[in-house]
Amino acid sequence: MLRVNNGGITIEERRKNSFDRLVSDSDRDGRVLLIYTGGTIGMVRNENGVLVPKSNILVEKLRNYSDMHDREYAEERFGATGPLVLPITTTKSRRVVYSVLEYPSLCDSSNMTMDDWIRIANDIKESYEYFDGFVVLHGTDTLSYTASALSFMFEALDKTIILTGSQLPIFDTRSDGLYNIISSLVIAGNYNIPEVCVFFGTKLMRGNRTCKVSATSFDAFDSPNIPPLAKVNIDIEVNYRAIFRSCTLEKFRLHASLNRNVVVLRIFPSITTNLVKAFVQPPTEGVVLQCYGTGNLPSNLSDIVQELCNATKRGIIIVNITQCLTGCVSETYESAKQLREAGVISGFDMTSEAALAKLAYVLSKKEWDMETKRLMIETNLRGELTAGRSSSLKDFDPVEGIARSLRISSTVEFEQLRMILFPAIFNAAVLARDLPKLDALTRYGADISQTNADGRTALHIACCEGDSNVVRRLLNMGANVRIKDRYNRTPLTDAIEYDHHEHNGDRLKFLDYKDVAEIRRSPA
């Protein structure tokens, strides 16, 4: 059993003992589980000046950093061996309380395997109902692979999961590690961004869109084909339009199986037919084919195209992606069309990391036949690809219109106006049962789970009203059922009190009877 290093107790013991005390004191705290898998961020230099992992020192170091732990507050509330607590900030009145789960064998990320991805996923699943968000400390070399894999393995995700690391250990004077950890904890404990993300430098990025772009820069990661989900400077500016939300009435679940018979083949000048033929032999079941430019293969290599065609006929799924950092696969040139005719699937603008992880995920789905698997590769499952839609938004922006009339120009004032207007418009649409307006607001990119001054969302209002059509539409749009208002009430609380819980759709029902009982016992 893995141990949580906030007092030397197992996760199960923490659930039975300290967690109830943590919750009863203040449900408005952001509760985050920090999983430390290894990587540069926690390494120390040995006698030869080489960085090596060392167990059981990270938590003690964090306890001694005033920026990472409010010792006086934490000891008064939880005792000396309780969880860690971030100091209160001038911009956030909500504290972030976090526990650290350190793996017994810390792993350099270059040694990461699919078994490690599954292990991390299982640990998050076991603690999913007990925390508001999760931060995974990970080495940088394969961080994008892990983030991509987790994004597919977690189905119907409705909490924030952030992977981060550092270029220098946190014990070094100039380390970027402390800033990356603090920012990740603050976001995971305060914001509703239900994705597997990567935080590095000043950017929060979609995990399956990231790649490591520098071995030496503190801005080591980028998401070349889409903008960041958030930028962290003096203020945290969240791009709510960019967030990918699960819009199915399903309970969060983990698909903990991956197909390991997947490979990456990069096309290069003078590549031989025999080499390609070797790549597509058993046990290979999936190939990420990195081609030139917009997905091009040398047009004079018909033998290679034939080998790829033979492989797809045998049931091997081959995904065509570009070697370029930005841009996507298209059939602009004849060679790309030849690949399509040979049965090679377009990967559009997926990164190689995302394409490999998606292949491993899709091929492991035993309930899908081959036709469905091929279709799923080209389907945008977790925001990993862009295809078939315009990148420009032509809808009228009501916030910008009002901001112009009020002569508002600063980013801070603009965001404050947005936070006032959208909840009001959403709530008015809910009260009017105006489903087309809800759809229009969502198409515009408004955050369906944005809260008003009382911390209430449109789903809170809909559950009080009891209109099952509105509730179901909100759930289909990805509305978060776990958000608590200033009175510690979730939408389910309102549904129960107003006796509408039988109308609130499958996702609300997935909060089981134990959760309902806890809500009924909680103060109004």
- Give the residue numbers marked as catalytic: 40
Scored b (16 or more CB within 10 A) or e, 348-359 reads bbbbbbbbbbbb
Structure tokens at 360: 């491993």
Q: How far apart are CA 463 and CA 472, in angstroms?
A: 10
192 in Cβ contact with 480 (< 8 Å): yes
Q: Is 262 helix (H, G, I), strand (E, B) or coil?
A: strand
Q: Which of 28, 24, 26, 19 is nearest to 485 (CA)?
A: 28
**Helix, strand, coil percent content, the chain, rounded in steps of 5:** 40, 15, 45
> What is the spatial distance between Cα 332 and Cα 349, in angstroms, rounded to a whole number?
15
**368 Cβ contact list (under 8 Å, min separation 6):** 362, 376
Angle at 245 between CA 125 and CA 250, to 5 degrees: 55
Residue 329 near residue 321 (C-beta atoms within 8 A)? yes
Structure tokens at 350: 């997926």
Task: Enter the tokens of residue 496.
Answer: 């129960």
Residue with tokens 């992977």: 163
Is the N-terminal amide bond of 436 cis, ω within 30° of 0?
no
Phi-psi map region of 433: left, alpha, beta (phi>0 left; psi -120 to 50 alpha): left
| Alpha helical stretches, state H, 111-249 | 114-126, 143-153, 177-190
Give Cβ neighbours of residue 206 (< 8 Å, ≥ 6 apart).
151, 195, 196, 197, 198, 223, 226, 229, 242, 244, 383, 384
Do residues 363 and 262 lie in contact, with contact meaning Cβ atoms separated by under 8 Å?
yes
Tokens of 42: 């926690």
Residue 413 φ/ψ, nearest 5 degrees: -65, -40
Contacting residues for 354 by C-beta, under 8 A, at least 6 apart: 148, 151, 208, 209, 384, 385
The Cα angle at residue 142 between residues 153 and 205, in degrees rounded to 5: 65
Task: From residue 490, give the alpha-carbon distance in Å to each of 71, 187, 414.
Answer: 31, 20, 28
Q: Coil, strand, or helix at residue 523?
A: coil
Of 456, 454, 524, 457, which is closest to residue 496 (Cα–Cα)? Answer: 524
